[in-house]
Amino acid sequence: MRLLPIHMLQQGMKIGKKIYSDEGLILLAEGVELNTSIIRRLNELGIGYIYIQDALTEDIEIPEVIHEETRRKALQTIRTQFQSLSKTSTISKGGYHLGKSFSGMMDSILDDLGSQDVSMIMLTDMNMTDHYLYKHSLNVCVYTLILGIVNGYSRDQLSVLGMGALLHDIGKTQTSKKLLDKPSKLSEEEYQQMKAHTEIGFKILKDEPNIPLLSAHCALQHHERLNGTGYPHGLKGSEIHEYAQWIGLTDSYDAMTSHRVYRQAMLPHQAMEVMYAGSGTLYDQKKLELFRDKVAIYPPGMSVKLSTGETGVVSKIDSNMPQRPVVRVMTNSSGELYEAPYDLDLTQVLSVVVTHVGDIES
């Protein structure tokens, strides 16, 4: 199985992984043969990449961080609750029963993560249609929980952290869809409206039964930055709770690696480069280093070009050295297909590096 950008899809290719709607429903199943109509529709839905079946990479497995059914139910719950909130024009003192709705989901996600050796952050929404707020909320939750597990947090701590991550953008349910989806630069007035989602989210959550107050503070603080340039209060350093600092990392990463109406998604390695520019100023250096070491910047199935001039597809990732994947090498430096493609483990051949990712014809 390999991951291809929409513009490289061709008629006759077959889908390798189910494609979901923002409601968690299956739009296209594995094995469906692509035609021009389907490819055009995928592009209209805002899907940047899909997995396709491929004889040369049929043994490459794409790991699932959480179970398919858990993801489907989580997206349905997020969609239902967020849509209900978006119809509320005034924020009163609690009474939304969010804790009841989301606590069971959090248990399922934690059970899934605890049932396997989850130590890598993988892109999780390559095969989903585009409703940014719903899938972004779930992605940030899953990414943050993986970091919390690696950091050694207890189950109770993870539950609070995960709830804060899941609901960090809940204040955007009170932001107009027109503003959220605006394809051009925001005016100063619009930017101030957008920034208000942190305080609105806190107001929604702080009096909710079964929502920890610390989770509400995560919604309030996830845009604060170490050097005081964040919002809403310009907090600095340790004034920002460590949970909110973790969520600030994963929120930024997922925003960069997601397709938006105003720009294409960055690839993981590109997003990490941008984030590292803020190491020690915007983001805590040690937290960022742990994040870097746990992000699969070259996801399985992704096309890559090597310093040898050869091209191939990432087949495996070593969780201890995610920057040095195993590559299924398929073409030589002249672009000719090898009769017998071979796997090259970059942890063993340090003289070879990845020089280009994605969008490679082979």
pLDDT digits (tens, 9 = 90+) for 302-329: 899 999 999 999 999 887 888 899 999 9
When pLDDT is averaged across residues 244-267 and rounded to a whole number, the result is: 85
Q: What is the mean pLDDT of the chain?
A: 88
Confidence of residue 173 (pLDDT cuts 50, 70, 90): very high
DSSP lists the bridge partners of residue 293 as none
Residue tagged 């996600």 (tokens)? 109
End-to-end CA distance of the chain: 14
Would you state the pLDDT for residue 359?
A: 64
pLDDT higher than threshold 90 for residue 245: yes
Q: Please, how many CA atoms are within 13 Å of residue 296, restricted to the half-sphere of its CB?
A: 26
Would you state the pLDDT for residue 361?
A: 55
Would you state the pLDDT for residue 352?
A: 95
Span 2-57: which CATH code? 3.90.105.10
When pLDDT is averaged across residues 51-55 and rounded to a whole number, the result is: 91
pLDDT higher than threshold 50 for residue 345: yes
Residue tagged 């390695």 (tokens)? 269
68-294 has CATH 2.60.40.1180 classification: no
- What region does 86 belong to: left with phi over 0, alpha with psi -120 to 50, or beta? alpha
| Most confidently predicted of 17-31, 80-94, 300-314 | 300-314
Confidence of residue 22 (pLDDT cuts 50, 70, 90): low
**To the nearest whole percent, how much of the chain has pLDDT over 90?**
58
Q: Comparing 92 with 41, which gets the higher pLDDT?
A: 41
What does pTM read for this prediction? 0.84
Per-residue pLDDT of 196-226, as tens digits, reads 999 999 999 998 988 999 999 999 999 999 9
For the chain, the structural domain boundaries read 2-57, 68-294, 303-357
Of 53, 73, 47, nearest to 126 by C-alpha is 47
Per-residue pLDDT of 93-131, as tens digits, reads 666 788 888 999 999 999 999 877 666 676 655 445 446
Torsion angle of alpha carbons 255, 256, 258, 263, nearest 10°?
A: 110
User: Residue 265, exposed/middle/buried by CB under 10 A (0-12, 13-18, 19+)?
Assistant: buried
Q: Comparing 268 with 121, which gets the higher pLDDT?
A: 268
pLDDT higher than threshold 50 for residue 362: no
Give the phi and the psi of residue 161 in degrees, each rounded to 5.
-60, -45
pLDDT higher than threshold 70 for residue 244: yes
Q: Provide DSSP, 237-293.
A: GGGS-HHHHHHHHHHHHHHHTS-BTTBPPPPHHHHHHHHHTTBTTTB-HHHHHHHHH
| Most confidently predicted of 23-32, 55-64, 339-348, 352-361 | 339-348
Residues 6+ apart with CB under 8 A from 61: 1, 300
